[in-house]
Structure 1
Amino acid sequence: MNKLDNVFTKVMNTMLKIILSIIIIASICILFPILIDSNVGTIVFLLVIIISMLFGYKIINSNISYKQKIFSLILISIFIKILWILNADNTPNSDFKVMYECGKNFISGDLSCFKGIGYIGRFPHLTIHVLYMAAIQYLSPASNLLIMKIISLFLGTTVVLIVYLITLELFKSKEKALLSLLIASVFPPLITYTSVFCSENLAMPFYLLSIYLFLRGIESDKYKFRLFCLSSICLALGNLFRMVAIIVLIAYTLY
């Protein structure tokens, strides 16, 4: 059985390396035309990421304490996200604008978008996110967009920290955990999504926390049941906002 496990692990690792290599090469090929046609803001954003990576790597290899390294890398993550929020267009548009308006209609008593051929009636998986937007608008009619951005900033920073914890749990290496923290801090999608009013911002922390608790449960003997229960709860909460929990369950089964 152990031999079969080893073969399966090697095959999966090889497949993942091939897939990731294809993604990286394709991303680079797509990036060049974008850079050629890009404006000053995009170039500045890329420079900030590159400088942050170099500065973060210097922090990792510095002589400061381990906790100070973690704190410094998290500060880098927060700084880049705030910089992006302050300079990006932060008004809901496209589908997000429709969801925002549905939330506004909901608190005024208009439920038409939830029924029949209404937007949420046709896409019911967005219901929880619309209710979240409605709750923020109800609690803060004047500054609801600002509050949503602050929540996204907090959750985005939480995601970075959970990525660090998952890496530490998997590899038992503080150096690799710090590198993962740095990568997550400067990973463009985790930065740019901070200003987008999408359900992924709310779902991602729950999914990653579920994965972390699941890994802890695998290793634990005394608290295995509790950790698995907490992992299940986090998975269910994440699924409310973005219904892809079945993919995570398949991954748990394979693991």
Structure 2
Amino acid sequence: MTNLLEVANLEGGYGRLKVLHDFSVTVEESTITAVLGANGAGKSTMLKTISGLVPPRGGTITFAGEDITHLPVEEMIVRGLAHVPEGGGVIPELTVEENLRLGGLWRGTAGAKVTTEAIKEVYDLFERLGERRTFHGHQLSGGERQMLALGRALVSKPKLLLLDEPSLGLAPPIVARIMALLRDLRDEMGMTVLLVEQNVGSALGIADEGVVISVGNVVARGHAADLQSDVKLRHAYLGF
């Protein structure tokens, strides 16, 4: 299979604080790669640096064969990279439909008809959003906001979906539904996903590959099933 994303020797952080240290990862097309680690390990910083929200201090990021290391965020989106941050980033003052339409606007390549069709597909995936299309973001439950954030990313028709803690604060049935959706997006639509998640069991249950990081460094990588069965690794870095 072909690598859609290749991150090599990435360095990054905030101000004088260095968070990522020589971080490298590859993500194959049409797979789910789970990035795991304790709080403060650098998982969210890794996603923000790949998507351009945090400028990299070193290393390279190659996406679909192109060097995107220093491209601005808007160029990342146009090329097909969608980042759903922790908490989803839903705009509370906008309605469900308006939030979804932003996905098409941000990608910049979809006309009104294409965006409308993409929104219909999201409503088919999340019937609850269709029922609440006129509700504002602040009127939604936590699970509905997470669905909306994911749906907005899907409207942009991404090649690569970067997801940061999609299960955070959600009830187990909602978590199970989101994980099942990610699996279906991979299996039925060929979606490629880089997933940051502290719900280790759920993440490894749907992932093809897993990467464990600690203090900004990769400490283990391999098939998801192998990482899940490695008791010493789980105790040392994953807390269970």
More helix per residue: 1
- TM-score, with normalisation over the residues of structure 2? 0.24
More strand per residue: 2
Whose relative contact order is higher, 1 or 2, with alpha carbons under 8 Å and at least 6 apart?
A: 2
- TM-score, with normalisation over the residues of structure 1? 0.24
